[in-house]
Structure 1
Amino acid sequence: MEKKEKVIGIMGGTFDPIHNGHLLTAECAAYQYDLDEVIFVPSANPPHKVEKNITDAEDRYTMALLATMSNPKFRVSRMEMERKGLSYTIDTVREFKKLYPTAKIYFITGSDAILEIFTWKEPEELLKQAEFIAATRPGYCLSQLGQKLYDDYRDAIHPLEIPGLAISSTDIRQRIIEGRPIKYQLPETVEMYIKKHNLYR
């Protein structure tokens, strides 16, 4: 029997911190698109957040490891952390295509990020190199890409509806600053790591 091609999901992001919304998105994508594995790729130097204060990449990588270790389909890559310069998605996708030349590659992200894809580096080439799974959050619609663009790239962008996907890293950081609870919004291992290392205070 002929072996089917490997299907890989790449989930990029700052993961500052990684939370249950990220994990739920990855799990739903793995199920709906029959992914063999989902590789989380923490951004080292995201170009859209150059001016923002981002937690050290090693801390974000460790939190991603802690969050994903119980799922055999999940793993975490240091690819962008080990590459010099800004973390561009097109470069990451190209590297994964070299590592897995026969695999089908999906890039998993939020629909809010997809709406900004034409501000990314080499967006048209990116949409040729990988297909995108866009997790829908409240208030976002893929048709906002513009009808022509949406029609042109409809085959490369796949919506993924996530029930109750309203958790955000920004809100979690703000809750920690204000001393409000974050329990059940992210894995307990990540919550304990944040407390132990006094992050976001």
Structure 2
Amino acid sequence: MSDASRAVKLPSLDPAAGRIMRLGIMGGTFDPIHYGHLAVAEQAREALRLDLVLFMPAGSPAFKQDARVSDAEDRYAMTVLATAANPAFYASRFEIDRPGVTYTVDTLRALRAHYPASVELFFITGADAILDLLTWHDAADMARLATFIAATRPGYDIVQAQRRVEASGVGFDVRYIEIPALAISSTNIRDRVRGGKSVRYLTSESVIGYIQKNGLYRPGPDAFGTDALEEGEQHGR
């Protein structure tokens, strides 16, 4: 077990003799987490027969270093509330408790060192992110460490992404799944809260209650950055 994985709690996965277990990793800023994130995770769990989906709010997202992001404790608390009802979902402090900029490859390395080889890693992202995958930090090592699940919307043309990944020669194993067309984003939720508009049915009542109780996304000049990925809102490059 690595020093990084010792420092924070991760769910226990003890495969029975000869059984392979599949761990999904759902990263994101989750500012706030919403039904779009949950729908993607559930569809991925079902389609790829994942045993558990690990939700990891990013600590210091690499692609949002110049953007205002809510406190990590608030984003983690909302993730816990939103995922509590699904026994196959687990909210982790793994990234928010780890110092430094959050890179996906570092998380995958730590998870691979923590779990036995009988636990397979599946990183869940939006299909749009697959086009940028080759530019992420240490992309070749990411390809070695995990299978990637790309969530697409109905009618989305995946040919361009498939050709780019194949032409790279890096060796990414990408599985494409179709999810319902939910026009929900964290950016839109923040904007609606600031404008005094309802966000009911965009995220869970528990998350809405937390936002209200803690005064998140209040009206003011301190604008938040636009989400890089509206579907998966992934966390590290």
Pairing partner for 1:185 from 202, 211, 214: 202
Other-structure match for 1:166? 183
Change (3 A) 1:150 1:140: farther
CA contact (8 A) 2:31 2:70 kept: yes
Q: 1:2: Cα distance to partner?
A: 4.9
Q: 1:143: Cα distance to partner?
A: 3.1
Q: 1:153 & 1:31 partners in 2: Cα distance? A: 27
Q: 1:82: Cα distance to partner?
A: 1.5
> Does residue 96 of structure 1 match 2:111?
yes
CA contact (8 A) 1:142 1:150 kept: no
Return 5+ residue gaps in structure 2 as ranges: 1-15, 219-237
Encode CA deviations 1:117-152: one digit per residue, 9 max, x unaligned. 122111121112101101114785433337243354
Pairing partner for 2:192 from 175, 182, 186: 175
Other-structure match for 1:117? 133
CA contact (8 A) 2:154 2:178 kept: no
Encode CA deviations 1:71-114: one digit per residue, 9 max, x unaligned. 11110111111211100000001111112122111001111222
1:1-201 aligned at under 5 Å gives the runs: 2-102=17-117, 103-137=119-153, 141-145=157-161, 147-151=163-167, 152=169, 156-201=173-218
Matched residue type, 2:20: E
CA contact (8 A) 1:137 1:166 kept: no
Query: Which segment is superposed worse, 51-60 or 79-88?
Result: 79-88
Return 5+ residue gaps in structure 1 as ranges: none
Q: Secondary structure at the match of 2:75?
A: helix
Q: Return the TM-score normalized by structure 1.
A: 0.93
Q: Return the TM-score normalized by structure 2.
A: 0.79
Query: Which structure shows the bigger proportion of residues in helix conformation?
Result: 1
Q: 2:201 & 2:31 partners in 1: Cα distance? A: 16
Q: Which has the higher contact order (CA 8 A, sep 6+)?
A: 2
Q: 1:148 & 1:183 partners in 2: Cα distance? A: 39
Q: Secondary structure at the match of 1:80?
A: coil
Matched residue type, 1:76: A
* CA RMSD of superposed structures (Å): 1.9
Change (3 A) 1:72 1:148: closer
Aligned residue pairs total 201
